[in-house]
Homo-oligomer: A and B are copies of this chain.
Amino acid sequence: MTGFFDLLKKRRSIRDYEEKDVPLDLVKEIIRESCLAPSSGNGQPWRFIIINNRDWIEKLSDESKKNILSFIEQNPDAPLKQYETVLRDKHFNVFYNAPCLVFIGGSKKTGSIQVDCTLAACYFMFSAQARGLGTCWIGLGTNIQNPEIRKQIGMPEDYRIVAPIIIGYPRTIPDTPERMDPHILKTVR
């Protein structure tokens, strides 16, 4: 199991990618492994959308930025305010110019959708890393609202984006950031 502990300890969120594209078959293989995640009542409610096109990823970045900025204007006290300056930068791509983006989500009607898709996303990130790929969960990437855009990328009306994950070949792998000591509130023996 040495391989696994190495994986666990070295996984990093990657925001700097090589130009190289990710073969679609590889993305699909990683998605297949993500589906091995446990889910509430084994419901497997996760649905995937693959965006393997840089122009489309930029378009989705613009759509995200527009919606978040409009939200910040209406809610100037929201924590998202901290991202305003960078979001106003035309050259900033919320998906860090990654070659590929995968949305993991599902129906809003499924009560466990957030937990189930987060588990699939965790599997996705490990499976990608084990193949030498890097990933990053883009919290700012869930704001795709334009109905026309949603339709074009195959997103059903009741689809909730839980995890927008970018994937590609890492150009650089940053050092592991400090982790706080585990915060154990109590041990009942």
Contacts and interface: CB of A to CB of B under 8 A. Distances in A.
Interface in A118-168: 118-119, 121-123, 125-127, 130-131, 137, 139, 152-156, 159, 162
B122 A123 contact: yes
A24 interface: yes
Contacts of A184: 28, 31, 47-50
Contacts of A31: 182, 184
A31 B180 CA distance: 12
A179 B48 contact: no
Given A1-B131, A4-B7, A8-B33, 7 more contacts: A9-B36, A28-B184, A47-B184, A52-B188, A52-B189, A114-B118, A118-B118
* Copies of this chain present: 2
A56 interface: yes
Contact of A44 (B9, B112, B114, B180): B180
Contacts of A81: none
Interface residues of A, number: 69
Given A38-B13, A177-B42, A185 B154 contact: yes
Contacts of A179: 35-36, 44
A186 interface: yes
Contacts of A121: 119
A6 B86 CA distance: 42
A66 to B, nearest CB: 19
Contacts of A3: 1-4
B38 A188 contact: no
A74 interface: no
A32 interface: yes
Nearest to A45: B183
